[in-house]
Amino acid sequence: MKNIIISPSILNSDFLHLEDEIQKIITAGGSWLHLDVMDGDFVPNISVGNLFLERISPSINLIKDVHIMISKPIIHIEKFAKAGADYLTFHYEACKDNEEINQIIDLIHSYGMKAGLSIKPNTLVEEIFPFLDKLDIALIMSVEPGEGGQKFIEDSLTRISSLKHEIRKRNAETLISVDGGINDKTAPLCIQSGADILVVGSYLFNSQDFVSNYKKLLK
């Protein structure tokens, strides 16, 4: 089986015991931490931001996989770089045109971060194709962004397969990340379709046995 990355989303964690929640990731053998940033404009809800990341980064020896679901992402890139993001993924739908998307990707790279581009479920997967040669991550949202605990959208599997086909055709090194409704049933389907990274929230943090559930995702 290929090397699959699990990126646990702390949106679903217990913030009152965040240190314990992060320790669960480490105990399970994880090396990534996913942070969802929502502004109440691009998506309905509001979550943590760059200041939160800045506070926790120095004490967390995990790869910070940051997904910004915000309007006007270009004005926030430097803030997340300084806050400690390793990967920074923004949304196709938050940009006015392809020129701006290329500009943001270049800006992310200029700060030494890896760049990711995400699409909502109703956006054609082909919209990502022009940027694959520059992207480190292509993120397929398998639920509507903005809220945890939603049901996996089955059509996402076709989108993952199409994206993987295009990546191989271009001989690109872009990793496919899938976010939303990931559990022990949907994880293997995503992996079979071509996913490299699984963003997992409620299935892990709302479970009685984080470590056991983490390992189930990799079977």
Q: Report angle CA 194, 209, 206 to the nearest 5 degrees.
A: 75
Token representation of residue 181: 């409704």
Question: Structure pTM?
Answer: 0.94
3-state secondary structure of 121: coil
Question: Exposed, middle or buried, 78 (CB in 10 Å: 0-12/13-18/19+)?
Answer: middle
* Max CA pair span of the chain: 46
Q: Which residues make Cβ contacts (< 8 Å) with residue 100, sequence separation at least 6?
A: 74
Distances 11 to 19, 91, 96, 182 between C-alpha atoms, Å = 14, 18, 28, 14
Confidence of residue 181 (pLDDT cuts 50, 70, 90): very high
SS3 percent helix, strand, coil of the chain, rounded to 5, is 45, 20, 35
Residue 1, pLDDT above cutoff 60? no
Over the stretch 164-179, which tens digit does the pLDDT of each residue have?
A: 999 999 999 999 999 9
Range of the domain at 46: 5-216
Percentage of the chain exceeding pLDDT 90:
88
What is the average pLDDT across 116-124? 96
Q: Which residues are catalytic?
A: 36, 179
* Residue, of 2 and 76, whose pLDDT is higher: 76
Mean pLDDT of the chain: 94
pLDDT of residue 199 exceeding 60, the answer is yes
**Structural domains in the chain (count):** 1
Tens of pLDDT, residue by residue over 133-157, are 999 999 999 998 866 557 899 999 9
Task: List pLDDT tens digits, range 13-72.
Answer: 988 999 999 999 999 999 999 999 999 899 888 898 999 999 999 989 999 999 999 999
Query: What's the token pair of residue 163?
Result: 């994206």
pLDDT digits (tens, 9 = 90+) for 47-61: 989 999 999 999 899
Asked whether 43 and 145 are in contact (CB, 8 A), the reply is: yes
Q: What is the CATH number of the domain that holds 16?
A: 3.20.20.70
- What is the arithmetic mean of pLDDT over 103-122? 97
Provide the pLDDT for residue 145: 82
For residues 81-100, give the mean pLDDT.
Answer: 97
Beta strands per DSSP E along the chain: 5-8, 32-38, 63-69, 87-91, 114-119, 137-141, 175-179, 197-200
Amino acid 219: pLDDT: 80
Confidence (pLDDT) at 44: 84
